[in-house]
Amino acid sequence: MSTRGINFVDKWMAEHLANAMTDDPVAVSDLADDLMKAAEIDGIPPSEINEEFDSVFEVIFEAMQHREGGLPG
72 within some domain: no
37-66 residues labelled b (16+ CB within 10 A) or e (exposed) = ebbeeeebeeebbeebbeebbebbbebbee
Residue-range definition of the domain harbouring residue 28: 3-65
Q: Is the predicted pLDDT of residue 72 greater than 90, yes or no? A: no
36 within some domain: yes
71 within some domain: no
Each residue of 7-53: pLDDT tens digit? 999 999 999 887 777 888 999 999 999 999 999 999 999 999 999 99
Q: Which residue has the higher pLDDT, 51 or 69?
A: 51
Q: Which residue has the higher pLDDT, 54 or 73?
A: 54
